[in-house]
Structure 1
Amino acid sequence: MQPSTETQTLVRIQDLEKRFDLSGSWLEQLQFKEGKLQRHQEFVHAINGVTLEVQKGEALCVVGESGCGKSTVARTVMGLISPSGGEIHYDGQRIDHLPAKAMLPYRRRMQMIFQNPYASLNPRMTIQQTLEEPLRFHQPGLNPSEVGDKVHEVMHAVGINPDWGKRYAHEFSGGQRQRISIARALAVDPEFIVADEPISALDVSIQAQVLNLMMDAQEARGLTYLFITHDLSVVEHFGTRVAVMYLGTVCELATTRELFANPRHPYTQALLSAIPRLEDDRPTHIRLQGEVPTPVNLPSGCVFHGRCPYADQRCRTEKPQLIPTAGGQVACHAVQEGRL
């Protein structure tokens, strides 16, 4: 399948929604209220109308607090979770509604690196078997010699000694396991990689090595990344553009340089103020008041209004839409009205 030449957008996420049902079985949903038998349902609103475009060759970073929905976005894009609403397009073709067999050609082009290298590798398989498995599945026409050559190639590419192939995952450190996970993702020559906090479980001394490995692979293979993280210091060096999420919505989207130089949304400003800076003699941290609302009962209007110092009545009742700015987009009534 040839890539589309009409646009440079590789992945387009349009009005994506995901709700997780907390209500249990149909019988468990029945409750007596005011003398009547009524059906009561509760949902976790994990993603609420997210729209993003990932351009070919870039690294789009999605950041936010734990529980903001960024990992759910990643898993939904990969088809590991079915969306409750919205659309996902890959290279101009809608894929979120495709059956498993029709998704197979996209599975090879889209690969994922998971957060926990201690859980993402099969403990019963040797490293050689782990790396051979996706090749045998996605490229069944390869003979054993070609499979072996391909495995050796990706092992060298990520700095793994080919002699490790006979060993098992438990014999390696976290950083080594994540290198193996990256090699597994690269084995089938993908175009697009979703990395769900791939360095958060690693020691700080190892994080830079894994990041550099991913950046080298991007340059050598022309990869496109959707990179999920909560570490803004990583984003500053790795990302091409940044999407900031809060409670299942995108509140700001901008180029990395513009976001760090001129954050527009109050939540983005608070996040960036929390980054430790060695050169700051008197750091000016923005301390947000209140707690993050529950995704079960979302607040009306702007989801951030309960913690925002610039919120007014419009913010409490009307949901802001993403509006264009100099370096991207922002969803904020205060910015739109010139109050911020």
Structure 2
Amino acid sequence: MIPSEITQPTDQATTSPRHDPSTLLSIRGLRKRFNLSGNWLEQLHFSKGRLTRRQEYVHAINGVDLDVARGEALCVVGESGCGKSTVARTVMGLISPSEGEIHFDGTRIDQLSAHALLPWRRRMQMIFQNPYASLNPRMTINRILEEPITFHNPSLNRGDVQDKVQEVMSSVGIDPEWGGRFAHEFSGGQRQRISIARALAVDPEFIVADEPISALDVSIQAQVLNLMRDAQQARGLTYLFITHDLAVVEHFATRVAVMYLGTLCELAPRDTLFSTPRHPYTQALLSAIPRLSDGHPTPIRLTGEVPTPVNLPSGCVFHGRCPYANARCREDIPALKTYGDARVACHALEEGRL
């Protein structure tokens, strides 16, 4: 039986009794399913002369537990369709979770209504993937940046708002004199700088960046990454950074979370992950990074078909492509367990077969 899709939002925020002050964001048992079956009538089908109801779901996130510490840059990596962007959008309240809890600074926020969530919006901002689509083409850059400032600070007069706009534009390397221009008059890298300025305009503590440089030229990506790192140091920001580019992870992350088919496979500090990857999927990912020097292992070639998130495999979701899988891997879902300073969900590692 499929549980109900979402719970109704509430205006009441609840505080976690065991909140760790060093943890800014905490995710517990997060699941998200997207209904493919349509409305009730579309779910009815005739099968062998009988009327039956059939429901199908995309299981985008499957029981993710994750903590983000204050001041860190936690990168979530994985191949396309693994659910990393869905995690980002669920954290920001753009998508309602099917199950699980999201706590920000010790307060549960996933059940809050849109009105009750407003005070938290100022503390949490998002940078989207495509700078060509995330900026309103009918608004000047000044208006784009003024809008969140005036919304979250209605007591500010117009002079203070304009001063703030000029300050954030300068901080991201955009000339404040260009504020009267429209988004189409800027390059991709400049547009993404403006998107970063919009996120910084309300002085947030936490920023979710959903593949913010994937649509940019390689020559511009390093500039935007350095800008985000400088902003982190200057403002004490915490990042949840979604990417599929391991070179970006190696440059930007403090910790790395590896996802596969909506499941968290491995969580480790950046240096630990790149020096001693433990999960077979992580090992395959890192072996595929192009290297100019000799002495690196041959890339691991995964066999088998990539499972569909509509019909999830039993047991470990990676067992169909894992060279170390056995009967237990095909039957039991592995739990995240601690190995040194890393956490890994793998039966083969637990049993010493890896």
Aligning the two structures, in what range does the TM-score lie when normalised by the shorter sequence?
over 0.9
State which of 299, 303, 316 in structure 2 corresponds to 1:302: 316
Report the Cα distance in structure 2 between the residues aligned to 1:335 and 1:138, rounded to whole angstroms: 49
In structure 1, the partner of 2:132 is 118
1:335 maps to 2:349: yes
- Once the 2 structures are TM-superposed, how far is the Cα of residue 290 of structure 1 from its aligned partner? 1.6
Q: Tell me, in whole angstroms, the C-alpha distance in 2 between the residues paired with 1:6 and 1:111.
A: 22
The answer to whether the Cα contact below 8 Å between 2:77 and 2:244 also exists between their aligned partners in 1 is yes
Report the counterpart of residue 19 of structure 1 in structure 2. Answer: 33
Match of 1:137 among 148, 151, 159: 151
Partners of 2:296 and 2:279 in 1: CA distance: 23
* Distance (Å, rounded) in 1 between the aligned partners of 2:295 and 2:346: 31
User: Counterpart of 1:82 in structure 2: which amino acid?
Assistant: S
Query: Equivalent residue for 1:284?
Result: 298
Spell out the pairing of 1:25-64 with structure 2 (5 A cutoff): 25-64=39-78
The corresponding residue for 2:225 is 211
Deviation at 1:283, TM superposition (A): 5.0
Q: How does 1:38-187 map to 2 (within 5 A)?
A: 38-187=52-201
Alignment partners' CA distance in 1, 2:180 and 2:87: 36
Q: Could you give the per-residue CA deviations for residues 281-325 of structure 1, whole angstroms, max 9, x where no partner exists? A: 675100000221000000000000000000000000000000001
What one-letter code is carried by the residue in structure 2 that aligns with 1:93? T
* Alignment partners' CA distance in 1, 2:38 and 2:48: 22
Indicate if the aligned counterparts of 2:246 and 2:289 stay in contact, CA closer than 8 A. Answer: yes
**1-side partners of 2:19 and 2:160: how far apart?**
32
Q: Distance in 2 between matches of 1:151 and 1:144?
A: 11
Q: TM-score, normalised by structure 2?
A: 0.94
Partner letter of residue 303 of structure 1? V
Instruction: Report the alpha carbon displacement of residue 5 of structure 1 after superposing the two structures with TM.
Output: 8.4
Q: Partner of 1:100: helix, strand, or coil? A: coil
Q: 1:273 is matched with which residue?
A: 287
Q: Which runs of 4+ in 1 moved over 3 A?
A: none
Q: Which stretches in structure 1 are left out of the alignment for 5+ residues?
A: none
* CA–CA distance in structure 2, aligned partners of residues 132 and 51 of structure 1: 36
Q: Deviation of residue 157 (structure 1)?
A: 0.5
For residues 6 and 21 of structure 1, do their structure 2 counterparts lie closer, same or farther at Cα, with a shift above 3 Å needed? Answer: closer
Instruction: Provide the C-alpha distance between the structure 2 equivalents of 1:322 and 1:185, rounded to a whole number of angstroms.
Output: 33
1:230 equivalent in structure 2? 244
**Aligned to 1:245, which of 255, 259, 264?**
259
CA-CA distance at 1:36 after TM superposition: 1.3
Q: How many pairs align?
A: 337
CA distance in 2, matches of 1:164, 1:51: 43
Identity %: 76
TM-score by length of 1: 0.98
Q: CA RMSD in A?
A: 1.1
1:145 deviates by 0.4
Aligned to 2:203: 189
**Unaligned regions of 5+ residues in structure 2, if any?**
1-17
Q: Can you list the C-alpha shifts for 1:148-171, whole angstroms capped at 9, x where unaligned?
A: 000011011000000110000000
Q: Is the 8 A contact 2:19 2:106 kept in 1?
A: no
- SS at 2:45 equivalent: strand
The AA in structure 2 aligned to 1:225 is: Y
